[in-house]
């Protein structure tokens, strides 16, 4: 048997026909997606996903130098999976940063080669459009070269409704103030059957997609996430990916798809068990196969843990996010093993090289900053740029 047939071998006729479609670069149907979740072994979906990944990116594996700002964990919403937020009535248990506090966080990175700040937090009833426009302007004035990726449709929808502005107008105001792209959060699971049970009171699927559509039309890029591994069925995941795939066909504005593993520490869904590593890897692999029009697939290591993030690089993933510098609490508060998430560039590069991939530092829009494939880190470990 030729080796090509051996690696994709399956006796199942349905899987065989899906495998052929993938190898012929044909789009998978909704039913194909569900079949992969129901019947695809890790080795079957993983081998195919790795093939697709190598067709698209070879061994290139991206990371960036970034940090987060979480303006507040006070939130008017009550998502059941959220371990991080506190209601306004209990605001003494949370934090609320002023524009100056946040500018001081940015100033900590003066002289350091970070390229991106990721701003996301709870929905505070008093942090409005003007407050955030002031923040964006202050950051850009201080550090014009820092790319600002910020705000989920959950925050934006609330900000725009409260400020009585439409989506386009609100986004344009934030763009003019310095916002350059949107992160992928707030998507959770789009289907109302699940959304109503896990995050009933925040923006719905249509609202989330409309805000990303409008951002893309304004020339901004964005990411998309999916919170998986809780009470959803496989077909809800496929439905979620299908809605994103359709919007991407329309706008081509998404850079990256990021499946986020549900962590059950200290939240209202702590009774729901977490998915195991095989299910996690199958999720990434099937995402790579289904999301054929998304250029990149990211494993977010603060949520998954660094070893599992490393493992995803054999199951379709080509991006593992960035240095983070212990600047986010969302996952440590939900029980992730990464309690103080921070990795130096040397650690990220070594993590990628250990699994025989090529580490490439990128900016937010995937422009290459440095290809570390031929850099001997033992030589340059004292270089401050690598910390």
Residues near ligand SF4 (CB under 6 A): 75, 77-79, 82, 84-85, 122-123, 154, 199, 202
Residue that is written with structure tokens 């937090």 in the block? 121
**CB 29 to ligand V47: min, Å:** 27
Q: Under the criterion CB under 6 A, does residue 186 sit at the interface with ligand V47?
A: yes
Binding mask 217-236 for ligand V47 (x = CB under 6 A): ------x-x-x---------
Residue 349 is inside which H or E element, if any?
A: helix 345-354
Q: Under the criterion CB under 6 A, does residue 81 sit at the interface with ligand V47?
A: yes
Q: Which stretch binds ligand V47 (CB under 6 A): 76-84, 288-296, 338-346, 353-361?
A: 76-84
Q: Which does 314 bind (CB under 5 to 8 A by kind): ligand SF4, ligand V47, none?
A: none
CB 76 within 8 A of CB 127: no
Q: Which of 120, 93, 104, 182 is nearest to 329 (CA)?
A: 120
**CB 172 to ligand SF4: min, Å:** 24
Restricted to residues 298-327, the positions that interact with ligand V47 (CB under 6 A) are: 300, 303, 321
Q: Which of 158, 77, 116 is nearest to 361 (CA)?
A: 116
Residue that is written with structure tokens 């950051």 in the block? 139
Copy the structure tokens of residue 290. Answer: 């289904």
When the beta carbons of 118 and 357 are compared against ligand V47, the nearer one is 118
**CB 118 to ligand V47: min, Å:** 6
**Between vectors from CA 15 to CA 13 and to CA 19, what angle results, nearest 5°?**
115
For 228-273, the DSSP string reads ESSS--HHHHHHHHHHHHHHHHHH--EEEEEEEE---TTSTTTTSP
Q: Which stretch binds ligand V47 (CB under 6 A): 91-99, 105-113, 260-268, 351-359?
A: 260-268
Site residues for ligand V47 per CB under 6 A? 81-83, 183-186, 188, 223, 225, 227, 258, 260, 262-263, 267, 300, 303, 321, 330, 334
């Amino acid at each position: 048997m030729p080796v090509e047939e051996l690696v994709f071998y399956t006796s199942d006729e349905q899987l065989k026909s899906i495998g052929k479609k993938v190898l012929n670069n044909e789009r998978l149907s909704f039913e194909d997606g569900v079949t992969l979740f129901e019947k695809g072994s890790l080795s079957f979906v993983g081998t195919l996903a790795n093939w697709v990944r190598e067709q698209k990116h070879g061994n290139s594996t991206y990371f960036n130098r970034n940090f987060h700002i979480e303006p507040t964990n006070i939130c008017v919403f009550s998502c059941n999976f959220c371990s991080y937020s506190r209601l306004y009535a209990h605001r003494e248990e949370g934090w609320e940063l002023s524009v100056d506090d946040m500018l001081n966080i940015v100033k900590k990175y003066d002289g350091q080669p970070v390229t991106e700040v990721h701003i996301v937090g709870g929905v505070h009833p008093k942090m409005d459009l003007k407050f955030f426009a002031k923040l964006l302007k202050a950051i850009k004035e201080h550090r014009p070269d820092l790319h600002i990726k910020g705000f989920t449709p959950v925050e934006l929808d609330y900000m725009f409704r409260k400020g009585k502005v439409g989506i386009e107008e609100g986004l344009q105001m934030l763009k003019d103030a310095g916002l350059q792209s949107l992160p992928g959060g707030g998507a959770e699971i789009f289907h109302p059957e699940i959304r109503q049970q896990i995050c009933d009171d925040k923006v719905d699927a249509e609202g989330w997609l409309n805000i990303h559509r409008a951002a893309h039309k304004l020339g901004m890029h964005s990411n998309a996430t999916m919170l998986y591994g809780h009470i959803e069925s496989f077909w809800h995941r496929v439905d979620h990916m299908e809605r994103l795939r359709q919007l991407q066909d329309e706008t081509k504005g998404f850079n990256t798809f990021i499946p986020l593993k549900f962590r059950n520490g200290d939240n209202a869904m702590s009774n729901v068990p977490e998915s195991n590593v095989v299910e996690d890897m199958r999720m990434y692999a099937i995402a790579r196969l289904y999301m054929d029009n998304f250029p990149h697939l990211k494993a977010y290591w603060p949520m998954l843990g660094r070893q599992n993030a490393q493992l995803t690089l054999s199951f379709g993933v080509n991006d593992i996010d960035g240095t983070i510098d212990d600047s986010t609490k969302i996952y440590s508060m939900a029980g992730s093993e990464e309690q103080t998430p921070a990795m130096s560039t040397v650690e990220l590069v070594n993590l990628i090289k250990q699994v025989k991939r090529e580490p490439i530092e990128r900016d937010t829009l995937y422009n290459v900053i440095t290809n570390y494939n031929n850099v001997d880190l033992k030589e340059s470990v004292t270089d401050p740029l690598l910390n």
